Structure 1
Amino acid sequence: MASEKAKALAAQQKAERRAEKLRKKNSDDPRDWGRVRQIVEAYKRTSEIDPQLKWWTVAAVAAPIVICLAVGFWLQPWWLWLITGVMLALVLVLWVLTWRVKKANFKRYEGQAGSAEVAFQLLNKRKWSYELGIAATRQMDVVHRLIGRAGIVLVGEGNPARTRALLATETKKHEQVAYGVAVTTILVGRDQGQVPLDALQKHIEKLPNALQPHQLTEVKQRLRALDAMRPKIPVPRGPMPTMKGVNRAMRGR
């Protein structure tokens, strides 16, 4: 009797494993994919926007192998240098793919509402936190907020004239609540006085420190009262699925 129950339980567990494996195989969620599929999907999606990706990939594979073979025929044994070249090629391909995925995502989402999140997701999560769409106009000009050692950073996207006015209004509100904490404003775009989307991450990271770690908690608490007085703005989310997949594949799961 006990053996029959054990066999039934084993069969059930085996069926559940098969079902889970099939679900992951047919899933569109990058979290369910294996490392190889994450990299393949990232390559496919990026190549749709970046036709040069294939040539960069070929160069990343060929260059280290050719160089190592040339050194191997000179120093011997050549097969050991060939293995070294293959290993270097794998590392270089992943680096090239990550680099081109970044560029492709900036190109794909530039000019869209919420595109600043592409840059925000690349920031150090321990140093920065962000809120999307804390304010917006009817034309979907939006202001996002970051909080870090540099203080409060307000990032605007949209029509320059309307967004500057919105940034000015939000700056006054935040200065009243934050009691002297530095408030920096950034307007995303490619005109004079604006910061391009692909340079936004580095621009934010270069801002000088203005707060101590213990002050960050106090500032966040003050801003909760300001946020409670207004509704959330529905800003498009999830701009970087391919980048997350590549990062997960390179780190391991």
Structure 2
Amino acid sequence: MARKANTDSADGAANTGRLKQIALTYKMTRKADPKVGLVVAAVGIVTFGVFLAIGFLIDHPIYLGILGFLLAFLAMAIVFGRRAERAAYGQLEGQPGAAASVLQNIGRGWSFTPAVAMNRSQDVVHRAVGRAGIVLVAEGNPNRVKSLLAAEKKRMNRVVVDVPVHDVIVGNGEGQVSLKKLRTTLMKLPRVLTGPQVTSANDRLRAMGDLMSNMPLPKGPMPKGMRMPRGGKMR
């Protein structure tokens, strides 16, 4: 009995957590998309109404009504999810590190390393490794990030010469990939590597190090009154 009570309590807490998460997502979405509630409700009502009308026409209103209710709920969930995703991307658009936020949730089969290259203007290059090979994702000024991408490719060529390398510049200009299409773009790349090859490439890249791990940091506490230099170059 105690074990069952604990299970019921855990399930109740999980359900409460999901409801709170849905409510929070709705509030955040509504700020960017004030009509989301009306649109989602309209989709549910129209879907249910169509199935109920068909049910009356074929003399099965109860059966079609139940089916319509379930499909209406599903349609509402799909529409809400898409509008919430669009609102989230809209809030991230133009923010520093927006591409990193998307890449962190790219899904299984990918290994993500943020800020493998950066300059003083805070243009940055992230790295994702998967079955498609290595993808360098740059965000910042399009003219400046090209040199960052070229330098990072040259650095990687020392350790991974047999792995395809793709580069993506995040933005809304010509030849760039918008933030909302970034994940889809990576997922559509052809898969040319096996699992062991991906692991091997990751190991070699980690051995090479990245921007954060290569930065020389002094050991011990920072002396009092010491300030970080401004405008200094990262090596």
* TM bracket (short chain): 0.7 to 0.9
> Is 1:160 the equivalent of 2:160?
no
The residue type paired with residue 168 of structure 1 is A
What is the aligned counterpart of 2:179 among 189, 197, 200? 197
Post-superposition offset of 1:108: 0.6
Gaps of 5+ in 2: 216-235
Matches within 5 A, 1:12-161: 33-125=16-108, 127-161=109-143
Contact 1:135-1:144 within 8 A present in 2 as well: yes
The residue type paired with residue 34 of structure 1 is G
Gaps of 5+ in 1: 1-9, 25-30, 234-253
Give 1:179's aligned residue. 161
Contact 1:134-1:232 within 8 A present in 2 as well: no
Post-superposition offset of 1:176: 1.3
**Offset from partner CA, 1:14-73 (integer Å, 9 cap, x none):** 9xx8xxx9xx7xxxxxx8953222222211111111123123212221111111121122
Matches within 5 A, 1:229-248: 230-231=212-213
Distance 1:66 1:32 in 2: 29
Post-superposition offset of 1:118: 4.2
Q: 1:120 to 1:228 in 2, by over 3 A?
A: closer
Q: Secondary structure at the match of 1:112?
A: coil
The number of residue pairs the alignment matches comes to: 208
Q: Secondary structure at the match of 1:176?
A: coil
Larger RCO (alpha carbons 8 Å, 6+ apart) = 1
The answer to which structure has the higher helix fraction is 1
Distance 2:181 2:105 in 1: 11
Percent of residue pairs bearing the same amino acid type: 36
Distance 1:152 1:36 in 2: 38
Tell me the TM-score normalised to structure 2 length.
0.79
Give 1:208's aligned residue. 190
Distance 1:201 1:81 in 2: 38
Distance 2:83 2:158 in 1: 42
Contact 1:133-1:232 within 8 A present in 2 as well: no
Distance 1:211 1:47 in 2: 42
Give 1:28's aligned residue. none
The alignment's C-alpha RMSD in Å is: 2.5
* Larger mean Cα displacement after TM superposition, 74-83 or 128-137: 74-83
The residue type paired with residue 203 of structure 2 is Q
Post-superposition offset of 1:146: 0.3
